[in-house]
Amino acid sequence: MSSVEEKLAKSLTAESVALIPYLPYLLQDLWELGSSPKDVVHLISKNIIISEKTKVLDLACGKGAVSINVAKKFGCKVKGIDIIPEFIEDAKKKAQEYNVEALCQFIVGDINQSVEIEKDYDIVIFGAVGEVLGNQKETLNKLAATIKKGGYVMIDDGYAKSEDNEIFITKEQWVEIIEKSGYRMIDELLVDESELSGVLDEQMTCLTKRSNELKERYPNQANLFDQYLKSQLAECDELENDILGVTMLLKKHD
Ligand SMILES: C[S@@+](CC[C@H](N)C(=O)[O-])C[C@H]1O[C@@H](n2cnc3c(N)ncnc32)[C@H](O)[C@@H]1O
């Protein structure tokens, strides 16, 4: 079993790689899979001067919700890369719908390879991708290779509310790693906790409906889908109680 597949499953809150073929079906009703495009656009507007020459890379772009909103708002070029071919197909269709197909390039790929070949971007977005590129320090080092001098990295992740969280780290720990990795935190936007439970409830309703459909179609796999819904509920609980979602804008020291 490859660790790329295991990390892919985890990035979408699936415990088992056996669920990977079903993810496009389960997630068909959702466009935004992690980051809030509104928050990303807000942080860029507030902090970065964008021109038509600005180049943006969206690593593990999902169905392109962030890429397309950024291209639409700023008129700049965006390249999105994701490992799930169905997500990339959806992203291309959405780009047409939003009239930004000339600005957006979407390709299927493993971002572990992309970070070795993609270079000279003004902004690199890494939205809700977790540990696909390694731990926080390894991720920041790999992302550094893709940005040009004076470029920015936008990361969507979370601050653990207490130090005993096994997956997430606290804001103080993040800041220490960011500074040791040669970046400065320029700005951050915390998730709006008053809106969170409504958004999560809506997502759970869609996932439960699709999961029930799959259970009917593949009764032998019922446990797999039940387990997926359990993991989703556990993640919702974590997001509401143990973690503060955050989008961070970082700038690399020259
Ligand atoms: C939670 S989603 C976030 C998607 C998007 N960044 C967003 O915020 O809407 C995680 C994404 O990581 C992608 N992914 C996981 N492992 C990957 C890899 N090795 N290479 C490319 N994409 C990967 C998944 O296919 C999925 O679309």
Ligand 1 atom at shortest distance from the alpha carbon of 87:
27
Residue 2's pLDDT band (cuts 50, 70, 90): low
8 Å CB contact between 103 and 75:
yes
Kindly state whether residue 12 falls inside one of the protein's structural domains: no
Instruction: Express each pLDDT in 195-228 by its tens digit.
Output: 888 999 999 999 999 999 999 999 999 999 999 9
11 CA from centroid of ligand 1 (Å) = 6
Average pLDDT over the chain, rounded to an integer: 95
Looking at residue 164, its pLDDT comes to 84
Does the beta carbon of 62 sit less than 6 angstroms from any atom of ligand 1? yes
Confidence check: pLDDT of 17 > 90: yes
Residue 97 belongs to domain with CATH number: 3.40.50.150
Kindly state whether residue 88 falls inside one of the protein's structural domains: yes
Going by CA atoms, what residue is nearest to atom 18 of ligand 1?
Answer: 110
24 CA from centroid of ligand 1 (Å) = 12
Does the beta carbon of 129 sit less than 6 angstroms from any atom of ligand 1? yes
Kindly state whether residue 52 falls inside one of the protein's structural domains: yes
Does the beta carbon of 187 sit less than 6 angstroms from any atom of ligand 1? no
Taking CA atoms, 108 is separated from 5, 83, 128, in Å, by: 15, 5, 18
Instruction: Express each pLDDT in 103-131 by its tens digit.
Output: 999 999 999 999 999 999 999 999 999 99
Kindly state whether residue 26 falls inside one of the protein's structural domains: no
DSSP 26-70: HTTT-S--SS-HHHHHHHHHHH----TT-EEEEET-TTSHHHHHH
Percentage of residues in the chain with pLDDT exceeding 70? Answer: 99
Q: Which domain holds residue 129?
A: 34-193+243-252
> How many domains does the structure of the chain reveal?
1
Kindly state whether residue 225 falls inside one of the protein's structural domains: no
8 Å CB contact between 207 and 232:
yes
pTM for the whole structure: 0.96
Kindly state whether residue 226 falls inside one of the protein's structural domains: no
Kindly state whether residue 238 falls inside one of the protein's structural domains: no
Kindly state whether residue 227 falls inside one of the protein's structural domains: no
The dihedral through the CA atoms of 88, 5, 208, 161 has a sign that is negative
Residue 32's pLDDT band (cuts 50, 70, 90): very high
Residue 1's pLDDT band (cuts 50, 70, 90): very low
